[in-house]
Chains A and B, each alone.
Chain A
Amino acid sequence: MSGPTVDLDPDNAARDLVSLVLTLVELVRQLLERQAVRRLDQDDLTPDQEERLGLALMRLDEAMTELCAHHGLRREDLNLHLGPLGPLLAEDPW
C-alpha cells in the first residue's frame, strides 16, 4: 500500500489542535478588519478612534504572526479549503 497512513503521533495531534484554534482566531481577525474597513468607509469615526482601531488591529496582526512563528506555522498554513465553498480565509489575493 502506498496510500497515506494515519498519523498517531500525539505531538502532531496537539499541533493540529493549535493550528485549528489559530485558524479560528485568524478568521475572526479578518472579519474584524473587514468590519473596520466598513466603518472607515462610512466616515463615522473620529481621527482618534481611527488611530486606536488601526493600532488594535495592527497589534492583532503582529500577535498572529508571532503565534504562528512560535508554533512553527506559516500564515497560509492556517487556511482550510472547504471544497466547493473555496477557502475559509481570505487568501492573497483573496
Chain B
Amino acid sequence: MSATDRGPAAYAPAAGAAATCVFAVRRSGDPGALAGRTGHAGGGPLRLLPLAGSLWAVVQSVPAAEFTQEALRQRLADPLVLENCARSHHAVITAAAEDGPVVPLPLATLFTDERRAVDVLDQQRSHLVGVLDRLTGRAEWAVKVHIGRPAEARAPARSAPRAVGDRTGADAATGTGAGTGAGADADAGAAYLTRVRGRERDRRAWQDATLHVAQQVHDTAAALAVAAVRRTPHGPRITGPERHQVLNAAFLVDDARAEELATAVRALHGAFPGLDVHIDVSGPWVPYSFTEGRRP
C-alpha cells in the first residue's frame, strides 16, 4: 500500500518529477493487450521495461509528488481514490495477463526511476521466474459459499419487546413473553433455562452444519487444484444479514481442470438437504493469491 522505494525521510520530489510505478512482471515483451491501455490517472503511457533473464516489467511514469509515501497515505485513505487506484491497477494487470502468466505486484509499487526499478527486480529474478513457472498454464478460481440464515434463527428468544429496527417480529413464535415482570409463573425460570438450552443447541447445530458445508466444498475443490488459500469470510456488512458466508477460498487450477473443478463444486448444491446453500465459482482470475506476495 505504500511506496517501496524508501528514500530519505524528507523526500520531496522536484515539481514535475516522475516516479516509476510497476504493475507486473511477465515473460512477453510484446505489448499485446496493453496497447492503448492507460494506467493510473495523470500518469504517462504504459511501457514494457526489459529486465534480465528475458523478463519484462509493465511500468508507467507517474507524477512523483502524488506518489510520495505521505501523499499516498493521504490519498489512499479516501475510499474513492483507493477504489480508482485499485481498479486501474487491476485493469492493467488483467490486460497484461492476456498473453501469458504475470506476477502482479502490490498496488502502488513505486521506484524513484526506471534504473532503480530494474535493479531491484533483477535481484528478485529467481523468485519471479519461479512464480511464473508455477503459474504457467494455470489460473486462480474463487469459490465462495453462503448459507441463507434460517428464519427461526433470526428470531432468537428474547424476554422483552425488541428494539425498533429488528429484522423480525417473530418473537411470538419462539414463546417469549412468558413470565416477564414480577408475579411470573412458578416455573418461569426453568422455562427460560429450557429455552436458553434449546437456543444453545440450535446455535451449535447450525455452527457444525456450516463448518461441515464449508469443509466439504473446500475439499472437493482442493482435490482438483494445485494449491488452495482460505481467507476470512466476509461479514454481514458485505453479504447482507440474510446470508452468512462460510467459505471464501481461492484455488490455483490447471487450465485443463478448471471446468472439472467448477462442475464438481457446483454439483454440491444439492448435497446439503435442509440448508439453503449457495455456491459461487468464479474465474479465471489473475492469480493474485498465489504469487507469494514478496515485495520487490
Number of interface residues of A (CB under 8 A): 36
A:22-62 near B, CB below 8 Å? 33-34, 36-37, 40-41, 47, 50-58, 61-62
B153 within 8 A of A: yes
For chain A, what secondary structure do more than half of its interface residues adopt (helix, strand, loop), or is it mixed? helix
Q: When A33-B200, A62-B159, A93-B149 are in contact, do A54 and B188 touch as well, CB less than 8 Å?
A: yes
Chain A 64-92 against B: per-residue CB contact (8 Å), 1 yes, 0 no?
01101100011100000101100100101
Smallest CB-CB separation from A65: which chain B residue?
B160
Cβ-defined partner of B203 (8 Å) among A47, A51, A84, A93: A93
Q: Is the pair B188, A58 in contact by a Cβ cutoff of 8 Å? A: yes
Q: When A56-B189, A93-B149 are in contact, do A3 and B79 touch as well, CB less than 8 Å?
A: yes
Cα distance, A75 to B171, chains bound together (Å): 15
Q: Is the pair A61, B159 in contact by a Cβ cutoff of 8 Å? A: yes
Cα distance, A3 to B186, chains bound together (Å): 56
Cβ-defined partner of B166 (8 Å) among A36, A40, A41, A74: A74
Q: Is the pair B159, A58 in contact by a Cβ cutoff of 8 Å? A: yes
A residues near B, CB below 8 A?
1-3, 33-34, 36-37, 40-41, 47, 50-58, 61-62, 65-66, 68-69, 73-75, 81, 83-84, 87, 90, 92-94
23 examples of A-B residue contacts, CB within 8 angstroms: A1-B78, A33-B200, A36-B196, A37-B200, A41-B197, A51-B187, A51-B189, A53-B189, A54-B191, A54-B193, A57-B196, A58-B192, A61-B158, A61-B160, A62-B160, A62-B180, A65-B159, A68-B163, A74-B166, A75-B162, A90-B203, A92-B149, A92-B156
Given contact pairs A57-B193, A93-B150, A93-B203, enumerate 17 new A-B contacts (beta carbons under 8 Å): A2-B78, A2-B80, A33-B200, A37-B197, A41-B197, A53-B189, A54-B192, A58-B179, A61-B158, A65-B159, A69-B163, A75-B163, A90-B203, A92-B155, A93-B154, A94-B206, A94-B207
